[in-house]
Each structure stands twice: as C-alpha cells, then as structure tokens.
Amino acid sequence: MNRKRFLAGFVALTMTVGMMPAVVSAKGFDYEPEETEAVETTETETKETAKPTVKETTKPAEKEPEETKAEEPAETKEEKPSEPAATEPEETKATETAEPSETEKTPEETETAAPSETEKKPEETAASESAEPSETAPSESEPAESSEPEATETEPAEEKLPEDTYTKEPKAEVKDEGNIGSLVWKYDDAGHTIAISGKGAMPDLDEPDDYPWAKYSDKITRVAIAKGVTSIGDYAFKDFEKLTGVSIPAGMAKIGDSAFENCKDLKAVTIPATVRSIGSRAFKRCSSLAKIAIPKSVSKIGDYAFQSCTELASLSIASGVKAIGSCAFSHCYTLKSVTIPGTVSVISAQAFEDCYRLRTVTIGNGVTSIECEAFYCCTCLDKVTIPGSVIAIGASAFAKCTYLDIVSIGYGVKTIADNAFSEVEYLTAIVIPGSVETIGEKAFMNCNQLRYITIGYGVKAIGEKAFSACYRVENLIIPDSVETVGDNAFSNCGNLNAVSLTKALHDQMSTNVFSGCTDLHTFTYLIDNPFTVKGKTATLKAKTLKKRALSVAAGKVLAITPVGTGLDCVKVSGNKNITVNKTTGAVTVKKKTKKGTYAVKIKIMSTGNAQYKASDWQVVTFRIKVK
C-alpha cells in the first residue's frame, strides 16, 4: 500500500509542475506524447473536482458517461466541464488523480492483478478500470456489468474467419452430378466442364431449362460427350454463351433441334461420320464458328441449322447429303464459296439467303430443285451454273445477286419462277433452253445490263414484266413455240428496236407488252422453215484416240440447210462412246474407242432464227469411222 501511495503522489507532483504526462502500469511509466493535451486538460479539472469526487461516486444517474469516458475521456469532459459531481475524471484518469483516495486505489489494484491483460488488450484494461470501483462503491456495480459488452466487441472480428473460408471453398470444390435417362452427367466447376457418359440416347426435353445442367449455362465452357452416347437432345445446350468447345464421339447418330443454338463463343465442332441428322437450329447463331464439315452420313441438314453463323468462312458438304433445309446457312456473312454435291436433291428456301460475301457456288448434277430465295441477295456471287438435273428454279432464287454476270441454265430446267433473277444488275446475257416451258412474272426484271436474250424453242409462256426495264436489249426473237406473253413483258426496254415473232402471236398479245419501248417501230414475222438435214461420215485416227477424246463439229457429220438456225438434237441409238450435243449437234468420241465404223441415229429439228419458225422433227443417221 505504501508503494501505491508513493506512486500516486509522484504522479500528482509531476502534473503540478508541468512535466510530461505518464501512464502508470504495473510495469512502470509509459510515455505517451500524443495524449499530452488531454492530460493537461484533465489535470486542472482533476484538481477542481478531486474532493467532490469521493462524495459523488455513489450517484447511479451519472454512470452513462462513464462508458464513454473509458473510450474518449477528453471529449466527454468538454461536454460537461462544470459538473462538480461528475465521476468521469475519477474513472477515466484514475491513475492521474491528485489525491490518493480509495477510488484511486482500485485502478491500481486492477493493473497489479492482471498485467498480462493490460499488455494484450488495452481496451479490456480500461474496461476493468471502470468496473473496479464497484468494490468501493456498491452503487456502481450495474454500470460495471454494462462495460462487459465492450470486451465482446472484439468477438465479431474472430467470427469473420469462417465467412472468409466459406466464400473461398466453392471455387475449388463445387461440383454437381446426376442422371438423365440412361446417361450420367458431371459438372466440374474448376474447369467449367460438363461430361456426359453412358450408353443410349439423350432424352429430348421441351425447354432448355428442363435439363439439370441448365443452371450452369452461364459458366460452362466445354462439353465432353463420351463414346456410347448416341444423340444430343433438343435444346440440350441452348444459350450456353460461354461454351467454346464440344467433343462429339464416333457413334453419335443425331444432333437435336436447337442443341447448340446461340452458343456465341463456340469456335470449333467436329461432326463424326456416324451422324445421320442435324436438327433444326442445331447451331443457329453460333457466331464464332469458323469452319464446319458435314459428313456423307448426314441425310438432311435441318432448317436454320447454321443460320447467322456470321464467322463461318469454310463449309464442306460431303457427297451423300440428300437435303439442305430452309435457311440452313442464311446470314452466314463470311462464307465465300460452297460446293453442293449431286446427292443433294433439294436446296430449300432461303438456304443461303443474304450470304453477301458468297462468291462461288457449284451445284452438282443431281440437284432437282432450287427453291425460293435460295441464294437471295448474295450480292458478291459472280457466276452460277445450273445443271440440267434441276427441274425448277424457285421464286427469287437469285434475286438481287447484284454482281452475278454469268448464268448458265442447263437443258432440262422446265420452270423459271417469278422474280428468279430480278435485279441482277450486272447480268449481260442469258440463254433460256428449249426445255423451259414457263418464264415467270418479273423473272428478269430490272436486269439493267442485260443485252442478249435467247429464248429457246420450247418455251410456251412468258409472264408479266418478265423482262421489264432491261434497258440494253436491242434485238429479240420470240420462237413460234411461245403461246402467251404477259402484260408489260418487255416494257421499258428503251433500246429495243427489232422483234421477230409469228404473226399469230403478235395479233393475240396485249398492246402493252412493249410499252415504253420508244425505239421499237418494226416487227418481223417468222416464216416457215425450209430445214433439211443429211447424215455424213467422219474419219478419226485410233492412234490419237488412245491418248485423248476427240470432238467432231456438226458440219462434218451433218449437212444442214439453211445454215445459222438453232438445233435440237436427241440421240436415238448408237455406240455408247459416242455422244451428241443437244443444242449444237457436235459429236464427241471417247478416249480409247476401238477401230471400226459406228452408225449413230439421231432425231433433229431446227429451232429457227430471226427469220424462220421452228421446223418439224427429222430422223437421220451419220457414221464415225475409226482406223
């Protein structure tokens, strides 16, 4: 007790003479320069209130400022500097009071009793200092208990550790798995991969959200399908916008409708040679897909299957594919070339619509139908050959193919539908074979550069405005096979100055057929054709035929009068190594044809010209001698 009183007296003496403040602890004096002002302020107040403090320590009403003083002694004293009965100076600066009263002993006893706590947590020591006077003044026992929450304020800091641990654990450990039909799926969150294994087909569900892995659609970057899975269900991975790759195993038979629709980051897909069907919208709007190869096992490419694959630059369709669905490759803006094999029977409506960078199209002999708008608005397409296997060219099939300047239509096509080649502004010449029966309405309307039109004998009907506004046409022959010509069929052909046709057709057609043809003043009526033909013999060398095939002009095997009329030839009989061109009568003898004399029978007629009508059919035989 004497030592404690000595220390208290020494502290009071130090404050009185203006020496630097100190805080007394069980270990001695600690220098705290930052609290100098607070100590100087409380020094005077301590002297003024030292004596009243002992009397007023029992007032319970003054205990709320006691907790505040333990934290901010200086600020509390400024709020109530004139209250003589306030207990703040006694509790806050108990170690700095001038008089060694009993209330001053309690903080010293607290410091002596728990020195280790003072070192670790000064806040707890301050709390215990304010709580200790309860031994001297029983009336302060309740506030002393209220100071305990200050010690518990540090506990939430320790509780944060489990929260931090919880947020980190899922990144490495979250996985999910389950069954779908006979298959098993597993999701790996670390690799953002879903793996599907088992044997059999994946069920076709009604909506994308019906699949159990749909909740990870915004995370999955790769899909790995194991061998044994035979189909990918409808909508299975639709809207997986972060998906970049998918592995499809050998043995897969079907890719369902919308299976990968709108997978915008999908860059590469390899379709195995076992897939038989690619469903509608299967890869629609896969806007990062750059290359695709369709194997020969696929029977049909579904409607919209690759629509809006805007980065698709390379497309390979193997021989064996039978049908290309509607809009299958429409809006593939980067696609530059495509070869359609002869095994494809139908190029469906809008199949390649608006592929505006498409430059080269090869249509195999075997395709029977090119449906409406199949190549609509392929503005960079510059050449197309339509084989004779095609029966019909659909409405607007090549409309607005602005730069298309060469069109070859094979003998065999029967119908050219409405608007088929309208607004093909760079087309300069067109030959319509005699196999065509109908030229539809506006079929070649607004072909501004079209100068040469040849209408084959066999055409029966020319639709309304079929060649309207073809400004550069100068001469026109309408064969006597034509029975009807629609209104305004050749209207506004400003440079047209000569038309040949039969008088019967001219008499029955509407007067507006040639409206706006300001330079047209004369019509030439076709007369009967004095066509005659006789067979001849042509001689070829066997030595030359051993190396290559040989061609023989029509004039060497046929004697034709009058010269200059169109021809229509059909082979009736003869050696299979000898063929006859249908429209020119030229003969081709195949390589390695053996020595001998070969008789070939043909059926031939003259299709007429600007002067003559078509002739009747005649049968003639010519000979090829190989020696």
C-alpha span between 147 and 131 (Å, rounded): 7
Q: Is pLDDT larger for residue 476 or for residue 143?
A: 476
* Token representation of residue 401: 């193919």
Composition of the chain by helix, strand, coil, percent to 5: 25, 25, 50
Taking Cα atoms as reference points, which of 382, 296, 376, 293 lies closest to residue 336?
382
- Written as one string, the DSSP assignment of 207-275 is SGGGSGGGGGTTT--EEEE-TTEEEE-TTTTTT-TT--EEE--TT--EE-TTTTTT-TT--B----TT-
- Please give the structure tokens belonging to residue 291: 């290359």
Whole-angstrom CA distances from 566 to 415, 433, 552, 607 are: 21, 11, 18, 5
Q: Cα(396)–Cα(375) distance, rounded to whole angstroms?
A: 8
Q: Which amino acid is at 309?
A: C
Q: Where does residue 543 rank: exposed (0-12), middle (13-18), buried (19+ CB within 10 A)?
A: exposed
Percent of the chain with pLDDT strictly greater than 90 = 68
SS3 state of residue 200: strand
Helix (H) or strand (E) holding 223: strand 222-225
- What architecture (CATH level 2) is domain 532-626? Sandwich (2.60)
pLDDT digits 0-9 by tens, 298-307 = 999 999 999 9
Residue 337, phi then psi, degrees to nearest 5: -150, 155
Instruction: Show the 3-state SS of 275-294.
Output: CCEECCCCCCCCCCCCEEEE
Residue whose structure tokens are 């010509």: 485
- Residue 78, token pair as written in the block: 């400024």
- Rounded to whole angstroms, the Cα distance separating 625 from 598 reads 6
What gap in Å lies between CA 440 and CA 348, rounded to an integer?
A: 19
pTM value is 0.69
Helix, coil or strand: residue 129 = helix
Exposed/middle/buried for residue 236 (C-beta within 10 Å: 0-12, 13-18, 19+): buried
Cα separation, 608 vs 358, whole angstroms: 38
> Is the distance from CB of 600 to CB of 579 less than 8 angstroms?
no
The closest of 346, 318, 320 to 328, measured between CA atoms, is: 346
pLDDT tens column, 395-423? 999 999 999 999 999 999 999 999 999 99
For position 609, what pLDDT does the model report? 87
The pLDDT tens digits for 309-354 are 999 999 999 999 999 999 999 999 999 999 999 999 999 999 999 9
Burial degree of 522 (CB within 10 A; 0-12, 13-18, 19+): exposed
Backbone angles phi, psi at 89, to 5 degrees: -60, -35
The model's pLDDT over 483-519, given as tens digits with 9 standing for 90+, comes to 999 999 999 999 999 999 999 999 999 989 999 999 9
Q: Report the length, in residues, of the chain.
A: 627
Between CA 609 and CA 479 the distance in angstroms is 8
Give yes or no for residue 22 having a pLDDT over 50: no
Q: Considering just the CA atoms, what is the radius of gyration of the chain in Å? A: 50
Which element (helix H / strand E) includes 231?
A: strand 229-232
Amino acid at 408: S
Tokens read off for 67: 């907790």
List beta partners, residue 193: 188, 222
Measured in whole angstroms, how far is the alpha carbon of residue 15 from the centre of its chain? 81
Give the Cα separation of 355 and 378 in Å (integer): 5
Q: What is the mean pLDDT of the chain?
A: 80
> Do 233 and 225 meet the contact criterion of CB atoms below 8 Å apart?
no
Query: What letter represents residue 259's amino acid?
Result: A
pLDDT at 479 over 90: yes
Least confident span in 430-439, 505-514, 538-547, 558-567: 558-567
Cα angle 256, 258, 264; round to 5: 130
Among 22-31, 82-91, 368-377, which range has the highest average pLDDT?
Answer: 368-377
Structure tokens at 597: 């004399």
Evaluate whether the domain defined by 169-335 bears CATH number 3.80.10.10: yes
In the chain, where the domains are located: 2-151, 169-335, 532-626
Q: Sorting pLDDT into bands at 50, 70 and 90, what band is 7?
A: low
Phi, psi torsion values for 146, nearest 5 degrees: -70, -15
Concatenated DSSP letters of 406-461:
EEEE-BTB-EE-TTTTTT-TT--EEEE-TT--EE-TTTTTT-TT--EEEE-BTB-E
Helices 36-56 and 102-113: angle between axes, nearest 10 degrees: 120
